[in-house]
Amino acid sequence: MASTPPTSASETSALKIVFMGTPQLAARILEILLSAPQDHLRVVAVVTRPDEPRGRGLRLQPSEVALLAERYHLPALKPARIKTVAFVTELKSFAADLLVIAGYGRILPNDVLVAARIMPINVHTSLLPKFRGASPVEGAILAGEPESGVTIMRVTERMDAGPILLQRKIPLAPDDTQGSLKAKLAELGGFALLDSLALLRRGELTETGQDENLATYTSPIAKEHAVIDWKADAGRIERMVRAYDPWPAARTTLGQDELLVWRTRLVTYRDESAGSTAAPPGTLVKLKPALIVKCGEGLLELVEVQASGRRRMAAADFMRGRRVAEGVRLGE
């Protein structure tokens, strides 16, 4: 059921926005926001995660959002804890009309949510109420969804359960990876956000409650989730490889060596030369001209892989020079 937000914006003054986000996806949304006419909106500060050790030297590095804020000479708050009087006081000092949140990475307490005069808005990378939570992009790919999209929503204390303000959809391509889909959704989300802010300024923004019966949830992704279980069906593993590219990267073992799997292809044709379908899951049933693995159900061709300490390469190039015979099992 649609309703009108309790507070509206003036068409004559610029909306003052505090942006909260951390990863590259959030940085692209912020960049789109900053490219809009600043007489209509004005980003007055950003809030992002503290600098983290990265790279081989584990040197402290700012987030992508912090780097963008520095480029635009915006104040950047990097609180280690957000449930403090000091942080909330500093946040309120910007007298923001809106908090805009995209991939911040923390659940926000009510003291933070009420810091904006009008409302807190989230750019969520799924078609809510599906795929609430920390990994909506990965969730959509893993589920084999035909489409994806973004939801602009008013934030409430319940995770991703607030009223929907606007949604935009795109087809989910059969070769989309986590990385490619996030890039598409960052663009889609940035411009959907601008559209919703324009509606707010005109007093035309409406809210639609989410259907709780349709809600699904995702959890944070860890490296252990990316270990391939060859007993799964080939379609599930193919989607897993795409969902975890670029991070944490689907992985298995070949002998004692870890092997990252970057690209695969379903073997959809009947190929009698591909080896016995009675072979145990994880078995390399064919090595030439393609590297084919027996799964719990179906066959999967490995297209691009990476050994520890090596670059990504075609599976055929990886196998060249290695003494591996048909019948060897991955993941043992």
pLDDT tens by residue, 145-199: 999 999 999 999 999 999 999 999 999 999 999 999 999 999 999 999 999 999 9
C-alpha 105/C-alpha 220 separation (Å) is 10
pLDDT value at residue 4:
46
Q: Are residues 287 and 156 in the same domain?
A: no
Could you tell me if 251 and 184 lie in one domain? no
- Rounded CA gap, 300 and 224, in Å? 21
For residue 297, the cross-strand partners are 233
Tell whether 204 and 262 lie within a shared domain: no
The CATH number of whichever domain residue 268 belongs to comes to: 3.10.25.10
Sign of torsion over alpha carbons 137, 143, 148, 150: negative
- Are 161 and 230 part of one and the same domain? no
Greater model confidence, 275 or 83? 83
Is 254 inside a domain boundary? yes
Question: Quick check: is 325 in a domain?
Answer: no
| Domain count within the chain | 2
Of 218, 240, 273, which one is at a domain's C-terminal end? Answer: 218
**In this structure, are 35 and 167 located in the same domain?**
yes
- Residue 31 pLDDT greater than 90, yes or no: yes
Q: What is the pLDDT of residue 272?
A: 45
Domain shared by 270 and 295, yes or no: yes
208 shares its domain with 227: no
In a domain, 327, yes or no: no
Q: Which domain holds residue 294?
A: 223-319
Q: What distance in Å separates the CA atoms of residue 45 and residue 69, rounded to the nearest whole number?
A: 8
Please indicate, yes or no, if residue 168 is contained in any of the structural domains. yes
Q: What is the pLDDT of residue 8?
A: 58
Q: What is the CATH number of the domain that holds 42?
A: 3.40.50.170
40 and 148 share a domain? yes
* Tens digit of each residue's pLDDT (9 = 90 or more) over 209-232: 999 999 999 999 999 999 999 999
From the list 232, 289, 238, 243, the residue with the least C-alpha distance to 268 is 238
Per-residue pLDDT tens over the stretch 88-143: 999 999 999 999 999 998 999 999 999 999 999 999 999 999 999 999 999 999 99
The region of weakest confidence among 104-108, 299-303, 320-324 is 320-324
Q: Are residues 199 and 264 in the same domain?
A: no
27 with 133, same domain: the answer is yes
Residue-wise pLDDT for 236-276, tens only, equals 999 999 999 999 999 999 999 999 999 999 997 655 455 55
**pLDDT at residue number 1:** 45
